[in-house]
């Protein structure tokens, strides 16, 4: 019977690969929970011939593992701008006149001077 994948993974690199994957997965889950966005964890296993015996059969192999963690990126805020005829950005609409506003509460008048209607 073949060794299970999980057992092979635990033995690989004296457990360093398994421990790294465990830590990477925990980080990925926390980040997905915090950002609400998806990410990924990829394990790539490479198997290569190390030696052959006298009859030419492969009798020794090398196994390596590569982990790739892609954490979700937080949403980047965006800003809205108008473009002028010259192609410059502006916070104000270039063809709209500005309306001068003033604070009426500072001129001594009462804002709540309403007449009661019966």
Q: What is the tens place of the pLDDT at every residue in 14-23? A: 999 999 999 9
Question: Could you tell me if residue 60 is inside a domain?
Answer: yes
Question: Could you tell me if residue 26 is inside a domain?
Answer: yes
Question: Could you tell me if residue 18 is inside a domain?
Answer: yes
Give the β-pairing of 58-70 and 40-52.
antiparallel
Question: Could you tell me if residue 112 is inside a domain?
Answer: no
Residue range(s) defining the domain that contains residue 32: 5-70
Report the alpha-carbon distance of residue 19 to residue 8 in Å, rounded: 13
pLDDT band (50, 70, 90) for residue 77: confident
Q: What is the pLDDT of residue 85?
A: 84
- Alpha-helix residue ranges (DSSP H) falling in the chain: 5-11, 16-35
- Quote the number of domains for the chain: 1
Whether the per-residue pLDDT at 118 is higher than 80: the answer is no
Question: Could you tell me if residue 61 is inside a domain?
Answer: yes
Enter the pTM of the model: 0.61
- The pLDDT mean for the chain works out to 88
Question: Could you tell me if residue 62 is inside a domain?
Answer: yes
Report the alpha-carbon distance of residue 67 to residue 71 in Å, rounded: 13
Question: Could you tell me if residue 110 is inside a domain?
Answer: no
Question: Could you tell me if residue 95 is inside a domain?
Answer: no
Q: What is the pLDDT of residue 109?
A: 56
Q: What is the pLDDT of residue 107?
A: 56
Q: What is the pLDDT of residue 33?
A: 94
pLDDT band (50, 70, 90) for residue 106: low
For residue 87, what are the CA distances in angstroms to 49, 80, 97? 61, 15, 19
């Amino acid at each position: 019977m073949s060794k299970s994948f999980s057992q092979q993974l635990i033995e690989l690199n004296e457990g360093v690969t398994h421990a790294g994957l465990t830590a990477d997965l925990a980080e990925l889950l926390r980040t997905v929970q915090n950002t609400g966005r998806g990410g990924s964890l990829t394990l790539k296993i490479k198997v290569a011939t190390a030696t052959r015996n006298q009859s030419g059969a492969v009798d020794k192999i090398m196994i390596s593992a590569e982990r790739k963690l892609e954490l979700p990126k937080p949403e980047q805020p965006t800003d809205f701008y108008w473009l002028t005829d010259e192609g410059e950005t502006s916070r104000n609409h270039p063809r709209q006149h500005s309306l001068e506003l003033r604070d009426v509460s500072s001129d001594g008048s009462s804002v709540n001077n309403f007449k009661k209607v019966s």
